[in-house]
Amino acid sequence: MNEILSVGLILMAAVVAGHLAQLARIPEVTGYLLVGVVIGPSALDFISHDNITTLGFLSDVALGLILFNIGSIFEASTFRQVGPGVVRVTLWEASLAFVLVAAVLLASGLSLPLVLLLGVVAMETAPATTLMVLNEYDAKGPMTDRLLALVALNNLYVLVMFGLVTAGLTFLDASGAGWLAAAYRAGHGLIWTTLGSVALGALLGLVMDSLATRAKESGEAMILSIGAVLIGVGAARWLGLSPLITTLALGATVANASSNGDRLLRALGRADPPLYAAFFVLAGAELVPSSILGLGLVGVGYTVARAVGKIAGARIGLRDQDVPPMVRQQLGYCLVSSSSLAVGLTIQIRTAFPAYAATVTGIVLAAVVIFEIIGPLLTRRALVATGEAKTIPSPLNKTSNAELLS
Amino acid sequence: MDGEVTPKLLAGTAIKIRVAAACMVLLGLGAWLTPPAAQSTIAPAQEHAAPLLEAQVQLRDSARPFRGVVEAAAPLLRYAAAVVPPPLPDAVNRDYDALPRASLPDGFAVRVSETEWLTHARALDGRPLVRLRDAAGVERDATLTAFDRRTGLALLQTDAAAGTAPRLATDLPAAGALAVATGAWEARDIVVPAFVTSAGGGRYTLAPAAGTLVPGMPVFSLGGELVAVAAGDAQGQAFDASQAVAGLRARRSAGQSEASFGMAYQAVPASLRPVFGEQGVLVTHVLRGAPADTGGLVAGDVMTRIGDTEITDLPAATRLLGEAAPDTAVALTVRRNGRFRTLTVTPTTPFAVAALDRADDLAGRDAHDVLSPDQMTAAGIPRGASILAVNGQPVTSRADVDRARRRSRTPVPVLVRHGSTRFFVALDASR
């Protein structure tokens, strides 16, 4: 099937999935993922692996837009209100997930480097999935305010930790090049990826802000926003930086530079639906549900330990913070989703440490299937339990249609 | 929005200009300080230079490398079958490493005739009876019929005839060429483009450009001919398929009657007799998880007796160890640090040993990092060798070597690794 037909099919499938999701009272993102599984190589194979590879740029664009949106959370005045508490929760939930996963894997007999790599991957929370569910239910409240910042900080924390772990393992593996050269290479990689990405995102954000004054029409603003995000993602790849941190920094800079930022974000919002839908359907198409069967005890331990670490870590982090008890109880459930960043880190591990590729791939990809399906459901449940879901889409029914017609 | 507008953090032209300038300086500095990429070990053959350059350009786009190679390899996927854990009775299973291997594809086999499949012992995980699942999802039981202990390659036989085999390569790739390994597992097609970094003597070394080489994976030339079968080890070894098939058909011996201990040994060098004694053979390598490892042997042990028979020299050791039978315990007397001890070792088949992971547990240091050229020459250490241990201790620096030499009054034993071979040499304590 050619790519144009694939994209059309993906979007149509997304429409159907959205309606079916409403009927089933599950988040739209879950519907998109499930329909992606159905039309993907695991089932009907309407979308083949080649299609997924070719359409990967759509996923890159969508992820860039999502992270740009999330980066806007770091607007200084807003962040000051929730910042210190959010940092504390991030440190607790991510670190506890790491510790519990590492303990379980060490007890299972895995080697330390493998345990460290899997532990870091386990820290991740999916930004895209979380944002989608919050948008769908028009969520507002103390838990929502913290959630977006949490997810952004979590991803930053994970990337820095991943850089540290891989730098350390690469350094220890180095032979023949001298320890000094190996240390320099590892250290430069870590610092360049983090600070360089922030600098690139900030620079692009300032350029975008200066051009925004001239983009008066909303159409122009949308073009400017999408163009800047694409340049951010492309330039980051070209320079060997992190597209994720770059687009986060881009969003944060735009939000902090001037009031143009709000206008740009609103304009971008109109381009989101098809790209987000395509992103999640493609993500679903890449899932291999049968991999769950091969998860094994180690994989089950990884999955359970990660979930427990996230939920318990969030609760511990919120202790002594002024939040409603229900928020303290439910926030951790919103952090269970795991997807694109975990998959991205797995791909990097496969390239950098091929000896661990098979084990990491087997465990992480199977766990991602589980978390991608249950994560949005848990987030929805938490939003409903805390009363922060302002809109619960009601399933279509003939009675309401009849009332409209009469 | 009503109400007071909160001033933005980066409001003001001056601060924006300062931040932008700082970002540009940071980016420029970071790019300037980026260390050069690690030296490639590929020595490109002249005629493959152009494709290599293009391939290196493709590598920069890490999201979609070698797309053309992957697409061209799609038809080759049908020749490989995944080795899946079969529902076999425990009696024929030899478990050397349980989870997580059990949850992953053990490896692949490639069809070489209507009923024959070629693979590596590591893909079979020591099992002589396995199940193969081909790209169409059809499962067949396959039995080991021949095994080559030199390469670890194994020939399997299935009952049902199905499918055609790929052409065996006649025009073999040289170092620097690009090859592609394939396999289909579950719903995934696995295509691994790989550079040939060395070729010769029926053996290849491959550097995967993306992905991982799994044991038993068929390696094809870009013309679609079967070149080799991958061992799936960290060294990237693969063995010539046409040579292997011919040899294995001639053997038709599963190697089940031979015994293997999973260790390597050498005669005690004359220069090291003051350290290791006059009699016996010196163990240089014990494979992790092998019978010798389980029995307690370590590199540096001197085997002096097998059962009740003394070991007089290297040929005697080889003959006596070769007389052992799989699964029959043998008493080995070794001298370690001047003391004798008797270890009970139960050998297994060479096929089962070949299935073990050969990753080295000792990292070692390049010899020229810790020894002077004169020392290397005097000790007979070749260029490119690594020093694994000096006087039984791991080496981290030249200081470790100097310390060992100062403390010893006899020649200092040095464990060296060169390629896939380990051996002991003597370092003079007086220098």
The answer to whether A123 and A154 have CB atoms below 8 angstroms apart is: yes
Q: How confident is the model at residue B375 (pLDDT cuts 50, 70, 90)?
A: confident
Contact A354 B214 (CB under 8 A): no
Q: d(Cα B256, Cα B370) in Å, to the nearest integer?
A: 43
Of the listed ranges A4-18, A258-272, B128-142, the one predicted with least confidence? A258-272
Q: Which of A128-132, A289-293, B155-159 has the lowest mean pLDDT?
A: A289-293
Is B104 near chain A, with CB under 8 Å? yes
End-to-end CA distance of chain B: 84
Kindly determine whether residue B186 and residue A299, on different chains, have CB atoms separated by under 8 Å: no
Q: What is the pLDDT of residue B194?
A: 85
Residue A244 CA to residue A127 CA, distance in Å, equals: 10
Query: How far B152 CA sits from the closest chain A CA (Å)?
Result: 19
More confident residue, B245 or B103: B245
Which chain B residues touch A350 with a CB distance below 8 Å?
Answer: 211-212
> What is the least distance, in Å, from the CA of B378 to any CA of chain A?
22
Q: Please, which pLDDT band fits residue A186 given cuts at 50, 70 and 90? A: low
Contact A355 B208 (CB under 8 A): no
Distance CA B269, CA B421 (A): 16
Q: What is the CA radius of gyration of chain B?
A: 27
Would you say residue A177 has pLDDT above 70? no
* pLDDT at residue number B210: 67
Confidence of residue A293 (pLDDT cuts 50, 70, 90): low
Checking if the pLDDT of B299 tops 70, the result is yes
Mean local confidence (pLDDT), B404-418: 86
* CB within 8 Å of chain B, chain A residues 32-91: 41-42, 49-50, 53, 56, 60, 75-77
User: Do residues B343 and B297 touch, judged by C-beta distance below 8 A?
Assistant: yes
Q: Burial letters for B39-50: b for 16+ Cβ neighbours within 10 Å, e otherwise?
A: eeebebeeebee
- Selected residue with higher pLDDT from B198 and A316: A316
Residue identified by tokens 């009503």 is B2
Longest dimension (CA), chain B: 99
* Gyration radius (Cα) of chain A, Å: 21
More confident residue, B119 or B83: B119
Encoded amino acid at B380, one letter: G
Mean pLDDT of A169-178: 60
State mean pLDDT over A211-228. Answer: 80
pLDDT given at position A404: 29
Model confidence at B44, pLDDT cuts 50, 70, 90, reads very low
Chain A residues with CB inside 8 Å of B212's CB? 350, 354, 357-358
pLDDT score recorded for residue B281: 92
Bond prior to B382 in cis (omega within 30° of 0): no
**Is this complex's ipTM strictly greater than 0.95?**
no
Average pLDDT over residues A43-47: 82
Q: Which of residues 351-380 of A touch B (CB under 8 A)?
A: 351, 354-355, 357-359, 362-363
Q: Tell which wins on pLDDT, B50 or A16.
A: A16
Q: Are B128 and B351 in contact (CB under 8 A)?
A: yes
A247-273 average pLDDT score? 78
Half-sphere exposure of A17 (CA within 13 A, CB side): 24
Q: Which of A307, A335, A340 is closest to A147 using CA atoms?
A: A335
Residues of B with Cβ-Cβ distance to A354 under 8 angstroms = 208, 212, 234
Question: What is the average pLDDT across B132-146?
Answer: 83
Does residue A405 or residue B184 have the better pLDDT? Answer: B184
User: Using 50, 70 and 90 to split pLDDT, how confident is the model at B48?
Assistant: very low
Mean pLDDT over the full length of chain A: 80
Does residue B8 belong to the interface with chain A, where contact is any CB pair within 8 Å? yes
Q: Is residue A180 within 8 angstroms of chain B, CB to CB? A: no
Does residue B56 register a pLDDT over 70? Answer: no
B6 touches chain A (CB under 8 A): yes
Q: Which of residues 238-297 of B touch A (CB under 8 A)?
A: none
Inter-chain contact A299–B100, Cβ cutoff 8 Å?
Answer: yes
What percent of chain B lies above the pLDDT cut of 70? 80
Mean pLDDT of A91-113: 91
Q: How confident is the model at residue B3 (pLDDT cuts 50, 70, 90)?
A: very low
Weakest mean pLDDT among A364-368, B57-61, B284-288, B382-386:
B57-61
| Three-state secondary-structure class, residue B66 | coil
Query: Six-digit token pair at A264?
Result: 């740009």
Residue percentage of chain A with pLDDT more than 90: 16
Contact criterion met (CB below 8 Å) for A313 and A332: yes
pLDDT band at B59 (very low <50, low <70, confident <90, very high): very low
A192 inside 8 A of chain B by CB: yes
Query: By the CB < 8 Å criterion, does B22 face chain A?
Result: yes
pLDDT score of A400 more than 70:
no
Region A112-129 average pLDDT? 89
Q: Do B16 and A206 touch (CB under 8 A)?
A: yes
User: Do A101 and A305 contact (CB within 8 A), yes or no?
Assistant: yes
Say yes or no: A405 contacts chain B, CB-CB below 8 A: no
Flag whether pLDDT at B115 surpasses 50. yes
Region B15-38: mean pLDDT is 82
Q: What is the pLDDT of residue A393?
A: 54
Question: pTM of the full predicted structure?
Answer: 0.52
Q: Residue B236 above 50 pLDDT?
A: yes
A-B interface: how many C-beta pairs under 8 angstroms?
130
Contacts of residue A224, defined as CB under 8 A and 6 or more positions apart, other chains included, come to A208, A211, A212, A215, A264
Model pLDDT for residues A198-207, shown as the tens digit of each residue: 999 999 999 9
Q: Which segment, A7-16, A133-142, B121-130, is predicted with the most confidence on average?
A: A7-16
Whether pLDDT at A181 is above 80: no
Give me the residue from A206, A291, A296 closest to B19, CB to CB. Answer: A206
Q: Which of A95-104, A277-286, B134-143, B183-192 has the highest mean pLDDT?
A: A95-104
Q: Name A172's Cβ contacts closer than 8 Å, sequence gap at least 6.
A: none
CB contact under 8 A, B8 and A256: yes
What pLDDT is stored for residue A351 in this prediction?
Answer: 60
